[in-house]
Structure 1
Amino acid sequence: MAAERADAVLRWPQDLGHSTVQDDASFDDRALLAPDGARSVAAAHGLPLDAIDALAAQIRARLRRPPYYTVVRGVGFGSGALLFGVLAGRIGRLAHPYPDPSYTATRILRPRESARMQGWGVLTEWLHTDSANWPAPNDVTMLQCVEPDQSGGGVSLLLSLDDALEEIKDRLGIAAVDRLSGEVLPWAIDDGLGGGELRAVPLTQEGLRWQPFRVATAVERYGSALPHRDTMEFIRMVDTVMLSSARLHRFFLRKDDLLVVNNRRALHARDAVPDPARSRRRVRHCKVDLTGPPAEGGGPARARAADGD
């Protein structure tokens, strides 16, 4: 298992946190959803938009090349969601399809609240892409460490799609890669978006949709048909191969570290937290859509995996 890649770390020389108000924990982040909302919010709070835009440009550039994620250090985010939300809104457009006005654009994730599913355990401990339960998954996922786990748990795990496909091809054969781009699977759609299922292949030219428990949910909740009797066994085998890959990157997010992931070109997870009920780990999270393609190159991902085969 590999450590974080040096070329994935972005050390930002300017602490932007001093520019935020001291108590912005009650900041209404839905203001960021308005057209050009991030610019308006930054102006209202006196945030240095030029510096934020310079950082946003660097992040976008990192997301377009391997390993398709970046860890940003040195920013300083203050006490709440203000700077985090404005930065997200300058990287792209906050992805927030929920009509319910009580849904916030950013949220805090805590281990004790992590979703679980029988047969899968803690869902965030499996490599996944976000929003597989949305009709159109988001382009970018942002995770800011507000406070790390005091026992060193919750180590971040990252695997680029290119590395994942190479691993699958090496250990399961090219036929397994073909299945990912050829088998139409049922994906349970979030109840907040109307529920039901969407049928789609996991792997396309646009990237990967991967949260196997969404397929399991569709089967259990809606009786959705699978393409083959061994489909769930195959999915679990792919999951296990990816999670045990020597190509997997792992690193511990410290306070104010920001992890930004190209949600089309990389999978992410975290390892177990020893005591979820007492863990102080808090991670601020949001999803972003880009106005342009999140990855360079135009060929299908599966074609790259099959090169030289």
Structure 2
Amino acid sequence: MKKWVRSISREPITYFLILGSVLYFLHAWLNPEDKTNSRVINVDRDSLVQFIQFRTQSFDDKASKKLDSLSPDGLANIINQYIREEALYRQAMEYGLSQNDYVIKRRMVQKMEFLAEGTTTPSTPFTNIELQAFYEEHLEDYKLPPTVTFTHVFFSEEHHGNVIDQLAQKTLEMLNKNRVRFDQAPNYGDRFPFRLNYVRRTQQEIASHFGEAMAQTVFKLLPHKKVWQGPISSEFGKHLVLLTRVEAARSPPLRDVRDQLVKELERLRELDSKQKTIDELIDGFEIKSSPEFQGRF
């Protein structure tokens, strides 16, 4: 027996457990109401509902309904998961594992930021004057890019090889001679992997289907409702284009972007309120800086 005691006493884990127990009972004595370090895990409705809410990331009454709908086995499983999580969490807190852990520190900061977000007080709606002033100040952010409207006849380089240029040129002459309309384009050429008609599309959208080189070329063309233009090369082959409309970049009327303006102003108002709350919190601390960083913030 004495040999066993001497053997145990030499193990570092023994001192760790003794020290942990001493710290635990000391903290429990000084903080009798601290539930985090309590050795009693209460399994009640509120605890289980909150557990389900955090597990499902759904903070509404659905968690309560889910709890009521569980089968006996499902309920037992939820309870066992809750007990396991609480026991591990409390033991980790008892051992001080949260100290100097940057991940936990950031999580707590995020919680404080979340609480600060809830400090925004209800305010009056924005006036038309406020919306107009904000819109004019940020006009470029709401500007609509140039767009084009066209249809095309496509010739696949894979299918036609070296004769593709000759075929495209010959077809161009025929289309213009016969005054082929916009809606008749499907009767000619090969099947294109994407769309046949492009209505009010931006250069970025055109480039995503045809490549940047062809997109730039199309946006330099002059529109004509009865004249086919080309051939224009793309990443897939040759194209004959009937460009019927070009719209320059423009600023939409305020009424068209009113909802966007209101949402953005509300977002900025909430950010401002949140920052003021955090600034007030910071003002409650005394900031001591080493000489190296004095006057740098």
The TM-score with structure 2 as length reference comes to 0.19
Q: Which has the larger radius of gyration?
A: 2
Highest RCO, 1 vs 2 (Cα 8 Å, sep ≥ 6): 1
Q: Which has the higher helix share?
A: 2
